Amino acid sequence: MKKILVVFGTRPEAIKMAPLVKELYQHSEFDTKVCVTAQHREMLDQVLAFFKIIPDYDLGLMKANQTLNQLSARILTAIDEVLVDFEPDLVLVHGDTSTSSMVALASFHRGIKVGHVEAGLRTYNKRAPFPEEINRQITGRLADVHFAPTKQSAQNLINEGVNSKSVYITGNTVIDALLWGIHHVNEHREDIQEIKEFIKKNQKLIVVTGHRRENFGDKFYEFCSALKELADRKDVQLIYPVHLNPNVQKVVYDTLGNHSNILLIAPLDYEAFIWLLNQSYLIITDSGGVQEEAPSLKKPVLVTRDVTERQEAVAQGTVKLVGTDKNKILKEAFILLDNQETYQNMIGNKNPYGDGTASKQIAKALKSL
């Protein structure tokens, strides 16, 4: 029996690893255990509850105002005890977090093989996204097996010298999570009822998220200014689940508070958030996961970033990069609001991130190792 340790620490990782964990549990060939670093705490717990996953190890490393260096050091130290206790044959990490890179490093130090889920995404700009780009590259160098979501991400790895025999193209597990999640949403929840009361059927709903570090400051003010002008249209409503970071909270509430067409709400758990995405007409976001999820829901996305490691979505036409330039955001949003032909073309494209079978493909690959 192959001993597999699945490690993650943030809400996005939990969402994307949950369907894989559920899949691995179904295979008697694997002794699968789950470790959470709890780099995020409350948001992580919400996802675990929704997918009904109980961690075997919970490191509880979230701490107010800790630096990236402090967090990284704590992950390295704490995960070492888990590796000694469980003695896994393979450790699975995900994506681009401090948890991923530090757990991969700790596993490497112990001579334990590492599998990297959602491998090979690149901007080749080490400052954007920060620190995720370098976390992803570090994990990629340490990993022994790479589960790339697309041909392009696989090619990135091969171009960097990774043996092609260790790279599997699987699609992205986020689609697995989304398709499962949409069918398990409880629409009678109190928070969803409150949102339903705000939504008007004769207006087009724009769902907004924004929290990236590289956009803090003047860029974020300009982004919010664009949102305010959008909300001035009588045919538009905006719902913005506002990230808890003070750099986000102050600007958003100062700029967008008390607007009748804007609903500012606390961050939603995964269940309520995917329900909300499904109600939208248009999504404006700097999130990586949303760029992957939205095409499966047939929703166009304007990405408020200068670069994205999800180039496939840009090439396929399911998302459009607009940065934080107010004029560009407004121009592209107005086109999608007013031009149905452009709108239909954007949502008619196939999702480049898969069909919801990534977890099954990863499990199959793991059996062959």
Helices (H), 92-150: 98-109, 132-142
Given the residues 27, 233, 243, 259, select the one marked as catalytic.
243
Query: Of 13, 23, 132, 309, which residue is the catalytic one?
Result: 132
Report the length, in residues, of the chain. Answer: 369
The whole-angstrom distance between residue 205's C-alpha and the CA centroid of its chain comes to 22
305 a catalytic residue:
no
Which DSSP symbol is given to 350? Answer: P
Q: DSSP string covering 213-272, please?
A: GGGTTHHHHHHHHHHHHHHTSTTEEEEEE--S-HHHHHHHHHHHTT-TTEEEEPPPPHHH
Cβ distance 242 to 267 under 8 Å?
yes
Most distant pair of Cα atoms in the chain: their distance:
61
Residue of 110, 213, 233, 259 marked active site: 213
- Mark whether 141 is an active-site residue: no
Catalytic residue selected from 13, 23, 118, 332: 118
* 213 included as an active-site residue: yes
**Beta carbons of 182 and 273 less than 8 angstroms apart:** no
Query: Of 96, 269, 309, 312, which one is the catalytic site residue?
Result: 96
Burial of 3 (0-12, 13-18, 19+ CB in 10 A): middle
Sheet strands (E) in 243-351: 262-265, 282-285, 301-303, 319-321
Decide if 118 is catalytic: yes
Active site residue 187: no
Do residues 351 and 312 touch, judged by C-beta distance below 8 A? no
The residues that are catalytic are: 96, 118, 132, 211, 213, 243
